[in-house]
């Protein structure tokens, strides 16, 4: 690694070592059952980059920093963002510490994970969930970051956001939803782009209201049986994945079914399953597998929403009340996601 480049990158985040951290003071006026919405972002705010999962390259930090500077934001790097610990971006303790530092720092107004990979499940027992509730902030990511989003939503009762990581493609489609939900606090109806890539397939027609709960299918099944999943009862489950053979999707949906999760939900959205091809001649298509598990539930459901390992991505507020329309493939926000 070029020393000067590394020194420059660390300088962006080194102020976290000298910035006084606000004391963690629990707000006793907050009901533990009330959902908390983080404050909205403003142009010129500072966004914290963290690496809670896989390794991060300095070139990715440079690119992401430039991207968000052009969008009008300052960047602060996690203290351990360039750490190396096997295939993880630092030890479990240090990756958890970076999350705590970002939530406690009053200068940081939002937190975005650099990338997914693997590792977030490992740090869930180390996290200070009262801190997140008493210092609510936007936290954004997808893929392996699903663990953090669901655990924080469940244990801290904070709305979290499933959307682009810092290394994502921040094109017009993705930025548009990101801005309108997190900066202007609009009530949006999220609909796919009118392109072949935006085609949706109805699994079961109808509309329903409920809270959005979900993320990466592989990660969610790895969390089953833990204390970090929110309730699925009468809520809307959204899923996405990448690089999984159809039989593996079948296996994971079986796990959700056998654990009783599918029988609890009131609606279902499957986003994109990138590079999820069937292998062999005797097989099922992904659509057939989804129909086998979801159609018997007779709940509004569709496949193909702009959620997942794709360039055009919605920003999905986890834990927010919405209304979905399976016939249109749309997600209508019933309340703002930020305060």
CA 75 to chain centre: 20
Is 147 annotated as catalytic? no
Task: Show the tokens assigned to 16.
Answer: 């976290």
Is 143 annotated as catalytic? yes
Is 100 annotated as catalytic? no
For CA atoms 160, 174, 199, 310, give the dihedral sign.
negative
Question: What's the rounded Cα separation, in Å, for the pair 165 and 122?
Answer: 19
From the list 266, 305, 309, 330, the catalytic residue is: 309
From the list 80, 134, 135, 143, the catalytic residue is: 143
From the list 240, 266, 305, 330, the catalytic residue is: 240
Scan for tokens 């000298």, then name that residue.
Answer: 18
For 8, the enclosing helix (H) or strand (E) is helix 3-13
Task: Show the tokens assigned to 326.
Answer: 């399976």
**CB atoms near residue 191 (< 10 Å):** 17
DSSP string across 56-96: --HHHHHHHHHHHHHTT-EEEE-TTTT--BTTBSS-HHHHH
Strands 138-141 and 160-162: parallel
Question: What's the rounded Cα separation, in Å, for the pair 99 and 19?
Answer: 15
Q: Point out the residues that are catalytic.
A: 143, 240, 309
């Amino acid at each position: 690694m070029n020393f000067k480049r590394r020194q420059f990158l660390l300088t962006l985040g080194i102020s976290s070592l000298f910035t006084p951290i606000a004391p963690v003071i629990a707000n006793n006026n907050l009901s533990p059952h009330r959902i908390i919405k983080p404050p909205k972002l403003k142009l010129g705010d500072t966004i914290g980059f963290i690496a809670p999962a896989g390794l991060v390259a300095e070139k990715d930090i440079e690119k992401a920093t430039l991207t968000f500077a052009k969008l009008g934001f300052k960047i602060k790097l996690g203290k351990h963002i360039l750490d190396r610990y096997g295939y993880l971006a630092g030890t479990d303790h240090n990756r958890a510490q970076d999350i705590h530092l970002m939530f406690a720092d009053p200068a940081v107004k939002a937190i975005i994970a650099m990338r997914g990979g693997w590792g977030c499940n490992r740090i869930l027992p180390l996290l200070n969930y009262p801190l997140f509730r008493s210092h609510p902030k936007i936290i954004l990511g997808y893929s392996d970051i699903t663990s953090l989003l669901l655990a924080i939503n469940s244990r801290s009762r904070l709305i979290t956001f499933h959307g682009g990581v810092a290394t994502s493609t921040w094109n017009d489609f993705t930025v548009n939803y990101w801005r309108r939900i997190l900066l202007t606090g609009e009530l949006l109806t999220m609909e796919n782009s009118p392109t072949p890539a935006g085609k949706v397939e109805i699994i079961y027609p109808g509309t329903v209201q409920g809270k959005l709960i979900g993320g990466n299918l592989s990660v969610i099944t790895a969390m089953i049986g833990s204390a970090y999943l929110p309730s699925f009862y009468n809520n809307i489950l959204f899923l996405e994945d990448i690089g999984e053979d159809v039989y593996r999707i079948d296996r994971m949906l079986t796990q959700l079914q056998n654990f009783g999760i599918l029988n609890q939900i009131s609606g279902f959205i499957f986003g994109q399953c990138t590079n999820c091809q069937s292998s062999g001649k005797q097989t099922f298509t992904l659509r057939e597998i989804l129909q086998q598990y979801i159609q018997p539930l007779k709940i509004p459901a569709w496949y193909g929403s702009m959620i997942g390992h794709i360039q055009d991505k919605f920003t999905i507020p986890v834990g927010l009340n919405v209304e979905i329309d399976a016939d249109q493939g749309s997600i209508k926000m019933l309340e703002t996601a930020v305060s």
